[in-house]
Structure 1
Amino acid sequence: MENPIRASMDVNSVRKDFPTVRKGQGIYLDSACQSLRPDSVIRAVTEYYEEYPACGGRSVHSMATRVSIAVDESRETLASFFGTKDPECYVFTRNCTEGLNTAAYGLGLKRGDVVVTTDMEHNSNHVPWMRLAETAGVERRFSRSGKDGRFDIEAFHRCMDRKVKVVSVQQSSNVTGCTVPIKAVSEIAHDYGATVIVDGAQSAPHMKVDLEDLDADIYCMSIHKMLGPSGMGVMYGKREVLERLRPMALGGGTVGLATYDSVNLAPIPDRFEAGLHDYAGIVGTKAAIEYLSRIGMDEVEKWDSMLMRRIFSDLEDVPGLHVVGPDEPSLRGSVFSFNIDGLGAHDIGMMLDSMAGVMIRSGMHCTHPFYVSRGIDGSARASTYIYNTVDEIDIFASAVRHIAETFGQ
């Protein structure tokens, strides 16, 4: 079946770089949770442990110096990849969640300050603000989306006034795939003097992100969704914003000088990176970003779009199948969330795995308010990436059709 969007990426060559794909360990359609890793990332991590497993930024011996250089190079690679000039504005975190929490608790919000989010946020960009509403008296406002999850710029504009101190929104939804126009949101928010925080967990792995152009004040991402090591994230912030942000954790590496009764914070980014780093994760981050750079994010986005169109084409008229979110593949990014009448999401997930070796995710995807507000118990979710093929999509779709026709109502 023909698809109107063509991508020039050589998927067969890409697939050779991923061990689990080479070994034939099933069809992995769960990349919105965590991506697979290519050989180059695995080698970078292994090389750290085998050749220079020391601590950077503290000792001055040759092995430690190599670590320090590797950390600096990783920041420089990130700055180049995301279109910014200052590598020191990239803070290494455990994941996107840690970055979002650091931003939420570090801005010093007080009673009466207003925070605007969408009604589609992942719990990482919802629960911290809920806690601040309970403990600090911060006011929440939700920019309401359409029933299918599409962002409504007019509804967002109606939320804004001079009381709004923070606008914190996802760039792309992990349920519907819908994308928020961050540049427009930033312009509106800045007109009211608000700080803009972006959850880029689902967007940074799948589209070109130019942070200078988007003009967000803080942008958080999960490297483990971008071919990088597990437990690695990055928080980017404009220098002037990071300078006024209070670190969430303090200790070794975060201070310039501490006495019994005083402490001076270290410069950014060190003040946000308490304790020993995940140096293996940091060097793996550089390898992952370099891999994506070689492919090109425009090609990544085209490939996801082509695969999403294939899913919709293959699953047209499947009895009892309901898409969660827009039914236009061009709006879905890389995620396809769905339910089948008479079957729970976990049932669908287990049957796909056991019957066809297809691995997807099922549940509420840490986006509980979206599902609860719409009276949906959860959904099955297939998510694509650069190592997935049209043939794999066809196998997935055929299995879904069989399950719906055989076991659905």
Structure 2
Amino acid sequence: MNAREIRELFPILNQEVNGNPLVYLDSAATSQKPVQVIEALDKYYREYNSNVHRGVHTLGTRATDGYEGAREKVRKFINAKSIQEVIFTRGTTTSLNTVAASYGRANLSEGDEIVISYMEHHSNIIPWQQVAKATGATLKYLPLQGDGSISLEDAKNTITTNTKIVSVMQVSNVLGVINPVKEIARIAHENGAIMVVDGAQSAPHLNVDVQDLDCDFFAFSSHKMCGPTGIGVLYGKKHLLEQMEPVEFGGEMIDFVGLYESTWKELPWKFEGGTPIIAGAIGLGAAIDFLNEVGMEHLEAHEHKLAAYAMEKMSTVEGLTIYGPKDASNRAGVVTFNLEDVHPHDVATVLDAEGIAVRAGHHCAQPLMKWLNVSATARASFYLYNTEDDIDKLVAGLVKTKEYFSDVF
């Protein structure tokens, strides 16, 4: 793949920020959108904007075809067995909350265990905290190795026959580490537990095969993989989804409504109450087409190369600490760091003055920040439109930041 040619397909990147060409290094927060996705959204609103499923007129049929066609694209993208296993949600957060609220509350009781890790995003911590409080279940944490990775030995020691749910992110949004979720799923199943995977940072960057992973649920968001905001996906094994009750009720998800009792539609629509996110689904479908054209294997290799290059170049900056595994082959395109004696927000502010966009803060991972013994970090995250030139500019910006604060103090 040619990242420089791909970059030209993203209109927002062809601008200056604070008098400098934009260097966008915040794709872990949200990715930018190619013209193919922008045009798909524009076409929907200009040519066939309509509600889905309910109408028989031409626009309604075209909208329904676009919406359900996107579901089939998602199914193929993650290799689900059936479209009945693909539920559209507002994003990863909603997907994880749905599993916790529906499956968790119905299947947990006092004495049961929920196992997650210290590196989880808040959206994969708080729902389980709430379920544990409501059911009396115990919340347990997988320990981390010194570099922030999870060892299978620790997984075997933490997951027991009392464990009913294991929920782990496949790729850390802070450490960049790629977790062995397939092997953790096997350990979970050997103990009679189900496996939930937070795929927010993996679906945009890795070849994901939910059948090969043998996870029971998999959650991800459109906006991190070149698609629009406000839509995501919950994959679930059909037999589990069939047992679960909806968490939102109203139009679209019902079969029959009486005065005192109602019945639900079949999967996946029983979990999609109300007017669905039609344009978002169509935009996500266009994003998947785009990523498939690029080739996920090429994208993954490109990011490993960028991560290795970034770690090598950034390590030359005196006083810079990089968090996470040193082996770039087990790291996605995320490099989180701190510059000695400079607050991450100040680092991000100076870099922004140079036109370089990075993230600073706790990254919705406060327990991990505590584990790292820091209050916050700065983070550079790469995607298919980034190049080594972007990293060179980042390193130059970090050197300038260090010099600026050395002069100030």
- Give TM-score scaled by structure 1 length: 0.95
Contact 1:315 1:401 survives alignment (8 Å): no
* Residue 349 (structure 2) aligns with: 350
Contact 2:155 2:187 survives alignment (8 Å): no
* Residue 54 (structure 2) aligns with: 58
Measure the CA separation in 2 of the matches of 1:37 and 1:157: 41
Q: Please say if 1:17 is aligned against 2:13.
A: no
Which of 42, 45, 57 lines up with 1:46 in the alignment? Answer: 42
* Residue 118 (structure 1) aligns with: 117
User: Could you tell me how far 1:12 is from its partner in structure 2?
Assistant: 2.1
Residues 171-207 of structure 1 show CA distances to partners (whole Å, capped at 9, x for unaligned) of 0100001111111111111111111110000011111
State the secondary structure of the residue aligned to 1:198: strand
- Could you list the structure 1 runs, at least 4 aligned residues long, displaced by more than 6 angstroms after superposition: none
Q: Please say if 1:27 is aligned against 2:23.
A: yes
The percent of aligned pairs where both chains have the same amino acid is 37
State the secondary structure of the residue aligned to 1:225: coil
Where structure 2 has 5 or more consecutive residues not aligned to the other structure, the ranges are: none
* Residue 82 (structure 1) aligns with: 78
* Residue 325 (structure 1) aligns with: 324
Change (3 A) 1:405 1:23: closer
State the secondary structure of the residue aligned to 1:256: strand
Measure the CA separation in 1 of the matches of 2:187 and 2:147: 24
Measure the CA separation in 2 of the matches of 1:331 and 1:184: 15
State the secondary structure of the residue aligned to 1:183: helix
Residues 196-242 of structure 1 show CA distances to partners (whole Å, capped at 9, x for unaligned) of 11000001111111111011010000110000001111111111111
User: Could you tell me how far 1:71 is from its partner in structure 2?
Assistant: 1.4
* Residue 265 (structure 2) aligns with: 266
Measure the CA separation in 2 of the matches of 1:258 and 1:110: 31
Q: How does 1:1-400 map to 2 (within 5 A)?
A: 9-24=1-16, 26-107=22-103, 108=106, 109-354=108-353, 356-400=354-398
State the secondary structure of the residue aligned to 1:98: helix
- Give TM-score scaled by structure 2 length: 0.95
Alignment RMSD (CA, Å): 1.3
Contact 1:349 1:380 survives alignment (8 Å): yes
- The one-letter code matched in structure 1 to 2:81 is K
Contact 2:317 2:395 survives alignment (8 Å): no
Greater Cα offset, 292-301 or 366-375:
366-375
User: Could you tell me how far 1:323 is from its partner in structure 2?
Assistant: 0.9
* Residue 6 (structure 1) aligns with: none
Measure the CA separation in 1 of the matches of 2:191 and 2:219: 22
- The one-letter code matched in structure 2 to 1:12 is R
Residues 364-387 of structure 1 show CA distances to partners (whole Å, capped at 9, x for unaligned) of 000110112332111000000001
State the secondary structure of the residue aligned to 1:338: strand
Contact 1:16 1:22 survives alignment (8 Å): yes
Where structure 1 has 5 or more consecutive residues not aligned to the other structure, the ranges are: 1-8
Contact 2:118 2:371 survives alignment (8 Å): no
Query: Between Structure 1 and Structure 2, how many residues are aligned?
Result: 400
User: Could you tell me how far 1:309 is from its partner in structure 2?
Assistant: 1.4
- The one-letter code matched in structure 1 to 2:12 is T
State the secondary structure of the residue aligned to 1:145: coil
- The one-letter code matched in structure 1 to 2:322 is V
Contact 1:321 1:404 survives alignment (8 Å): no
Contact 1:220 1:234 survives alignment (8 Å): yes
Measure the CA separation in 1 of the matches of 2:245 and 2:365: 27
Measure the CA separation in 2 of the matches of 1:326 and 1:162: 31
Residues 144-178 of structure 1 show CA distances to partners (whole Å, capped at 9, x for unaligned) of 01132111111111112221111111001000011
Measure the CA separation in 1 of the matches of 2:331 and 2:145: 15
Greater Cα offset, 321-330 or 210-219:
321-330
- The one-letter code matched in structure 1 to 2:139 is R
Measure the CA separation in 2 of the matches of 1:28 and 1:403: 18
User: Could you tell me how far 1:401 is from its partner in structure 2?
Assistant: 2.0
Measure the CA separation in 1 of the matches of 2:301 and 2:273: 39
Contact 1:75 1:88 survives alignment (8 Å): no
User: Could you tell me how far 1:263 is from its partner in structure 2?
Assistant: 1.0
Measure the CA separation in 1 of the matches of 2:281 and 2:363: 27
